[in-house]
Amino acid sequence: MRHLPYFCRGEVVKGFGRGSKELGIPTANFSEQVVESFPSDIPTGIYYGWASVGNGDVHKMVLSIGWNPFYKNIKKSVETHIIHTFKEDFYGEILSIVITGYIRPEKNFDSLDALISAIQEDIEEAKRQLDLPEHLKLKEDNFFHLPEGKIVNNR
């Protein structure tokens, strides 16, 4: 895919409140402005890569770009599930991501259980792919080191 790897950074905002509550799979959501800054021709679907909150550690992640057909969203969203357990929410923090690969297109599901099962499979696929040397090397990218006081996204 010609857009990969794709580097993106933005503030974490409140999403639909479904990730943790309904799915048991918390996601960090970017603002509409960050979503709109993605290349318009990047395919919707499920991706994997690396993520860091603030200047924290870099973790594996799986990410959804699109309209989430199961929920019939009217606005495109970018939702990142960081494969790590955080002690608390991090709304307002800066999330830095590097998307390194593509798993599948987005699709609708017959049930919430089928959606959760597919997400779990996506997480396992992301873990496998991110252990490969071509993806692992991006975990150490300087992009993840935010200089103190740096202005991010015009802020």
Between CA 132 and CA 56 the distance in angstroms is: 22
**Helix, strand, coil shares, percent, the chain, to 5:** 25, 30, 45
Catalytic residue among 22, 79, 93, 125: 79
Please write down the HEC assignment for all residues of 38-68: CCCCCCCEEEEEEEEECCCCEEEEEEEEECC
Q: How many other C-beta atoms can be found within 10 angstroms of the C-beta atom of residue 18?
A: 16
SS3 144: helix
Q: What stretch of H or E contains 116?
A: helix 112-130
Distance of CA 124 to the CA centre of its chain: 15
Residue with tokens 């606005």: 75
Catalytic status, residue 134: no
List, by residue number, the catalytic residues: 79
